């Protein structure tokens, strides 16, 4: 049975991905700043730290063996006028959302190359589709994740490794509710539902289902794709 790592698996979308993959029989480890306390396969690590990521992967390998599935769901949003984004904040948002993906992919690739098989799914954002005001750093980072996904797909396809991105629309998680509470969403979640063709907010399970498919053997001919899960908000 295959071994997976889900970053950001301690909350929201990442937690739903962990639950879904475990329900399908995968062995799934979690890397998160705040991992669930009672989960023996959950490691506390910061995706921006190459040392912490290397140590977390080493510990998971000790427990499970080689890791051939990686889902990057750890993320950090931010809301400010561009002129108010100082360079430290800019760097932090890029560091978590983009450089974090660099570190985890570097950590997992040797196992995937050795196996001649691998699945990488990067959770980007629908904001990369048409931009989003007051989120320039976040949109820049998530757009770069989509680009990285395409480049890696071309490079790793011959090694049996697929790389895809899932950009969520509005998904009901602590991140979204926090943005709503701080009036950073450009309306309430209810307002956004009215502008969403399927007329509901997304659920973390909607993203988990897309990830489960992209990880499956059935999806072996799908790579370098950006699979929007957004209720029809972006087409
Ligand atoms: P969330 O805040 O509920 O979960 C994010 C998780 O990432 C948390 O458990 C947090 O501890 C972890 N994390 C943050 N920084 C980290 C770091 N440096 N190292 C390790 N772990 C870290 O948010 P969510 O809504 O579940 O978001 C999951 C992913 O989906 C993120 O990448 C987010 O950008 C993306 N996304 C979410 C939405 C949405 O509407 N919720 C929309 C578009 C994209």
pLDDT in tens, 46-101: 999 999 999 999 999 999 999 999 999 999 999 999 999 999 999 999 999 999 99
Q: Choose the residue to mutate in 173, 178, 234 for probing ligand 1, maximizing ligand atoms within 8 Å of C-beta.
A: 173
C-alpha 207/C-alpha 221 separation (Å) is 20
pLDDT at 175: 94
The contacts of residue 64 (CB under 8 Å, 6+ apart) are: 3, 27, 29, 41
Percent of the chain with pLDDT over 90: 96
The fold for domain 3-170+203-219 equals Rossmann fold (3.40.50)
Averaged over 152-159, what is the pLDDT?
Answer: 98
Q: Which protein residues touch ligand 1 with a CB less than 6 Å away?
A: 7-8, 10-14, 32-34, 46-48, 73-77, 96, 123, 125-126, 168, 170-171, 173-176
Beta bridge partners of 164: 121
pLDDT at 228: 98
pLDDT in tens, 110-148: 999 999 999 999 999 999 999 999 999 999 999 999 999
> Which residue intervals of the chain are DSSP H helices?
12-23, 50-64, 87-94, 100-115, 127-130, 136-156, 174-181, 189-194, 204-215
3 state DSSP class of 233: coil
CA of 72 to the centre of ligand 1 (A): 9
pLDDT at 196: 97
- Element at 69 (helix H, strand E): strand 69-72
Q: Are 100 and 141 in contact (CB under 8 A)?
A: no
pTM higher than 0.85 = yes
Predicted confidence band of residue 186 (pLDDT cuts 50, 70, 90): confident
pLDDT in tens, 35-49: 999 999 999 999 999
Asked if pLDDT for residue 1 goes beyond 90, the answer is: no
Task: Tell me the two tokens of residue 158.
Answer: 């011959």
C-alpha 189/C-alpha 124 separation (Å) is 20
- The average confidence (pLDDT) of the chain is 97
Percent of the chain with pLDDT over 70: 100
Averaged over 26-41, what is the pLDDT?
Answer: 98
Q: Are 227 and 157 in contact (CB under 8 A)?
A: no
Q: Which sequence spans correspond to the domains of the chain? A: 3-170+203-219
């Amino acid at each position: 049975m295959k071994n997976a790592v889900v970053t950001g698996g301690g909350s929201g979308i990442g937690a739903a991905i962990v639950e879904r993959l475990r329900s399908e029989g995968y062995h799934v480890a979690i890397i998160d700043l705040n991992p669930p306390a009672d989960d023996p396969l959950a490691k506390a690590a910061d995706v921006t730290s190459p040392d912490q990521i290397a140590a977390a992967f080493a510990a998971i390998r000790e427990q499970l063996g080689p890791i051939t599935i990686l889902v990057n769901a750890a993320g950090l949003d931010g809301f400010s006028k561009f002129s108010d984004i100082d360079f430290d904040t800019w760097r932090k948002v890029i560091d978590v959302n983009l450089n974090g993906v660099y570190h985890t992919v570097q950590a997992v690739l040797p196992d995937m190359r050795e196996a001649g098989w691998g699945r990488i799914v990067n959770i980007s954002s629908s904001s990369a589709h048409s931009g989003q005001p007051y989120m320039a750093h976040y949109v820049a980072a998530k757009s770069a994740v989509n680009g990285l996904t395409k480049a890696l797909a071309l490079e790793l396809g011959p090694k049996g490794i697929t790389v895809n991105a899932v950009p969520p629309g509005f998904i009901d998680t602590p991140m979204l509710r926090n943005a709503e509470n701080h009036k950073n969403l450009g309306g309430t979640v209810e307002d956004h539902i009215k502008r969403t063709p399927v007329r509901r907010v997304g659920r973390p399970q909607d993203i988990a289902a897309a990830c489960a498919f992209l990880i499956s053997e059935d999806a072996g001919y799908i790579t370098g794709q950006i699979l929007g899960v957004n209720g029809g908000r972006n087409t």
